[in-house]
Amino acid sequence: MEPVPMLLAMTYRAMGDQFHDRLRQIGLEPLRPAHGYVFRFLKEKRATTVDIGQHLGVTKQAAAKIVNELDEWGYVLREPHPTDKRAQYVTLTTKGRDYLKFADNLWSDLEHEMAEAIGETTLDTIKTGLAEYLQHVHGDDQPGLRPVW
């Protein structure tokens, strides 16, 4: 059997692939995992493109491309920065917030399918164990969801 980190990575990839397959089936824009990290990052705040790039671990240019796509599709809004004329704040639009709710429901559906495959008790045990491990490693200062490139 594979080591736990490999199993976690493969499981995340399998669920992510199913998630994006379903997005394609319903005809949404060609959203990629990087877009999802931006949605989560902007969920509770606004940020500049530089902030988004730092969060994603990509260049400002790569972050700008992602923001441009999300803006064209109506998921984010750019606003002037109050003190830096070269910068803009990026925030989620109503469409972006609605998408986050939709995505949460889709992830919940995939989690239910996992419970059907491995059993609800097993899934609960895995979730509890992972949460306890994160608490052990990070304490109350839990890191936000970030990509692992």
CATH of residue 99: 1.10.10.10
User: pLDDT tens across 112-143, in order?
Assistant: 999 999 999 999 999 999 999 999 999 998 87
- On whether residue 146 sits in a domain, the answer given is no
Number of domains observed in the structure of the chain: 1
Residue reference for tokens 């004329």: 85
* Residue 22 included in any domain: yes
Residue 86: DSSP 8-state: T
Residues 6+ apart with CB under 8 A from 83: none
Q: Which residues, in sequence order, are CB contacts of 106 under 8 Å at separation 6+?
A: 19, 22, 23
Nearest to 19 by CA among 109, 115, 146, 98: 109
Residues 92-120: tens digit of each pLDDT: 999 999 999 999 999 999 999 999 999 99
In angstroms, the CA 122 to CA 80 distance is 49
Query: What are the two backbone dihedrals, phi and then psi, of residue 11, each rounded to the nearest 5 degrees?
Result: -65, -45
Instruction: Write the pLDDT tens digit of every residue in 13-27.
Output: 999 999 999 999 998
> Measured in whole angstroms, how far is the alpha carbon of residue 17 from the centre of its chain?
13
Q: Report residue 4 CA to chain centroid gap.
A: 22
State the pTM of this model. 0.86
- Domain contains 149: no
> Quick check: 82 and 60 in contact, CB under 8 A?
no
Q: CA–CA separation, 104 vs 128, rounded Å? A: 19
* Domain boundaries, position 88: 4-138
Residue 61 maps to a domain: yes
Residue 84 has pLDDT above 90, yes or no: no
Q: Is the pLDDT of residue 148 over 90?
A: no
**Is 145 domain-assigned?**
no
In a domain, 144, yes or no: no
120 part of a folded domain: yes
Residue 61, helix vs strand vs coil: helix
